[in-house]
Amino acid sequence: MAQVYRGKTSTIYRIEQFRGLNECADSESSLKSGEAAEMSNFRVTPEGHLRVRPGLTTAVNLGTATVRGLWTGFVAGEECTLAACGGTIWLVDLGAGTKISLGTMLDKPTTFFGFNGKVYILNGSQYFRWEGYGNVNAVIPYVPLVAVSTPPSGGGTLLERVNVLPGLRRQRFSPDGTSSKYCLAENLITQVTKITSNGNVIPSNLYTVNVTEGSVFFGSSVIPPLGENTVEIEYQKGSGHPELVTKQRFAETYNGATDTRVFLYGDASNRAIFSGLDEFGEPSAVYFPEMNEVQIDSANTPITAMIRHFDKLLAFKENGMWAITYGAVTLSDGTITGGFYVIPVNGEVGNSAPGQVRLVNNSPVSLHSGALYSWAVTGTRDERSAKRFSERVSKTLAGADLAAAVVIDDSFTQELCVHLGTSCVVYEYSSGTFYRYVGLPQITCGIAALGARYLGTSNGKIQKMSDANGSDNGVPIACSWQAGLRGFGREFAPKYSSGLWLRAKSEYGGLVSVSAEDEKVQSRQNLAILNSGEIQVVRLRLNIRKFKLARWTISTSSPAITVLGVDLALR
């Protein structure tokens, strides 16, 4: 509280700007004017006033199972919202409260990401796709063209590497017009699945296959005529390694200055795999060539998050961060191709919340060891790249399970929300203010959309958090703001307070309780009755006497109340 007026017999201490929660002060008496030692369910407005937090209402009811994932974005040119709950992928309308089943997947934590007009879905066991119509389905892998301009005797020019998703590959031949035997690039194959000549499919009864030596024998009636790359043989060798993709949990897009490759990570290893381009040079989220991977530091610890930051891709582990850059790589045969270089940036601070690093005002923010860190990344190793900025909520974060945190960046309200089970730490980054929400449902996922936040819960609901809601599904929101125990610059002297003036506004009318407590835990309480729509100044007589230290608490359960300021009289 700041002293603004001193009369002959009394001093007025005024709060005009509330500054949020501060848990880290050495003592409550060292708090700045407007800071709270305890604060719950009040938010601080951009103008520095206290306001009852947004309330909750059920936007969509998906059943009783845990909501495993939420996503909003564009699919086939249309903005859509998808949810995973109870083993079903749902297309939901957040405004109308409706849902449409798009098919089933395993009931596991689910990640959605948009790419090339489609949405892809990961859950650590499956890799599905939705194209904007019909049902979700397992992805159809791209079949790479491994060699072209191959003579019937074999060889040719190597082109694309094998896709780890299927065991299929294609090879194009340039027929000489007379040969009936065509040699593939590999032996010990599983089967030949399709052959075309000049675009026409050759029936399987008109050729034979030697799987041991990897060759095809054409009957005399279908010997391919002379041509250049006119025969294409699709064949299978083994079943691939689809688990390299399906075990991944998270995705990030990056390719230097563009977003034309998908990086998948989260299989509890130090490896991330990345997609390739198809034969036409188009980005593909169903083509992951063998050896397209980056390994981050030691294999003993997994990657916990990746996020694009300008022209770099940042990779986090529990106790470190690395920057991945894109550049040209010259292969042993002289071929120049794209490659990725890993640069260590910080060997101490990393990220403890899998997949929860977010960009806040163009700076990555991670959760590590009971704290929030903001990152300023250069191209060299620098332990100063991570700046801890959450000291004011250090007690709350230190006791939380950060591995289960759900982080939502709401750029509309300029709030970074760290959901920790039934509570939430909020950082309002335009003013640098922290506050805390409690009494929420168990939050498992969430998005910011349509000017509100939508939160998936452990009981199958998508809850809308908005200022338009004055309660949590009809339950009043209990709010409290408590100043620190302080002596107002005269800790040595007994003081007397006859009360205070509360400046507040209510949209619907309501009650605000103000209580005072001294160091002897002697307390007084009074109620301010607010009328609807008016800014009021209410005098509350608390009458605490002969105290050296005292604190004041403001509380309410009425909706849509804004506390504009407090004037405290002392003598």
CATH no. for residue 44?
A: 2.60.120.260
Residue 157 CA, chain-centre distance (Å), reads 43
Mean pLDDT across the chain, nearest whole number? 92
Asked, for residue 385, whether it belongs to a domain, the answer is: no
* Same domain? 275 vs 182: no
pLDDT of residue 381: 65
399-421: string of b/e by CB count within 10 Å (b at 16+)?
A: ebebeebbbbbbeebebbbbbbb
Residues 162 and 272 in one domain: no
Does one domain contain both 321 and 364?
yes
* H helix or E strand, kind and range, residue 396: helix 394-398
Tens of pLDDT along 292-312?
999 999 999 999 999 999 899
pLDDT of residue 238: 95
- Using pLDDT thresholds of 50, 70 and 90, give the confidence band for residue 493: confident
Shared domain for 158 and 183, answered yes or no, is yes
The span from the CA of 121 to the CA of 136, in Å, is 9
- Output the pLDDT for position 337: 67
Domain limit, last residue, from 236, 265, 289: 236
Residue ending a domain, choose from 203, 236, 269: 236
**Domain ends where: 209, 236, 263?**
236
pLDDT at 7: 54
Statement: residue 70 has pLDDT above 70 = yes
**Per-residue confidence (pLDDT) for residue 332, from 0 to 100:** 67
Co-location of 276 and 372 in the same domain: yes
**pLDDT bracket for residue 496 (50, 70, 90):** confident
| Whole-number pLDDT of residue 497 | 83
What's the chain's length in residues? 571
Residue 138 in any domain: the answer is no
Residues 255 and 347 in one domain: yes
pLDDT 10s digits, 123-136 = 999 999 999 999 99
Q: Is 370 exposed, middle or buried (0-12, 13-18, 19+ CB in 10 A)?
A: middle
| Strand 50-52 with 168-173, pairing | unpaired
Give me the pLDDT at residue 533, please: 85
The average pLDDT across 158-165 equals 95
435 domain residue, yes or no: no
Which segment, 30-34, 313-317, 323-327, is predicted with the most confidence on average?
313-317
Give the confidence band of 6 by pLDDT, cuts at 50, 70, 90. Answer: low
Q: Report, as an integer, the average pLDDT of 56-68.
A: 97
Does residue 545 carry a pLDDT above 70?
yes
Domain span at 279: 250-354+357-377
Q: 430 lies in a domain?
A: no
Residues 259, 368 within the same domain: yes
Query: What is the number of structural domains in the chain?
Result: 3
Tell me the CA distances in angstroms from 162 to 143, 233, 261, 353, one per residue in order.
Answer: 8, 15, 17, 34
Residue 266 has pLDDT above 60, yes or no: yes
Q: Does residue 80 belong to any structural domain of this protein? A: no
pTM of the model: 0.91
Query: In the prediction, which pLDDT does 334 show?
Result: 65
- Check whether residue 263 and residue 372 sit in a common domain: yes
**What confidence tier does 380 reach under pLDDT thresholds 50, 70, 90?**
low
Res 519 pLDDT > 90: no
The model's pLDDT over 425-474, given as tens digits with 9 standing for 90+, comes to 999 999 999 999 999 999 999 999 988 999 999 999 999 999 999 999 99
Average pLDDT of span 519-535: 80
Query: Among residues of the chain, what percentage have pLDDT more than 70?
Result: 94
* 285 and 362 housed in the same domain: yes
What pLDDT was estimated at residue 489? 67
Residue 92 lies in a domain: no
- Beta-sheet strands, E only, within 282-405: 293-295, 303-309, 312-317, 320-330, 336-346, 358-360, 363-368, 371-375, 386-388
> What's the whole-number mean pLDDT along residues 281-290?
95
Residues 486 and 565 in one domain: yes
Do residue 536 and residue 487 come from a single domain?
Answer: yes
Q: Within this chain, do residues 157 and 266 fall inside the same structural domain, yes or no? A: no
**pLDDT reported for residue 307:** 97
Question: How much of the chain, in percent, has pLDDT values that exceed 90?
Answer: 78
Tell me the CA distances in angstroms from 205 to 209, 221, 222, 235, one per residue in order.
10, 11, 11, 16
d(CA 401, CA 422): 12
Residue 19 domain-assigned (yes or no):
yes
Helices (H), 394-438: 394-398
Tokens of 74: 């564009």
Q: Given a cut of 80, is residue 331 above it in pLDDT?
A: no
Radius of gyration over alpha carbons of the chain, in Å?
32
Asked whether 23 and 396 are in contact (CB, 8 A), the reply is: yes
Asked if the structure places residue 390 within a domain, the reply is no
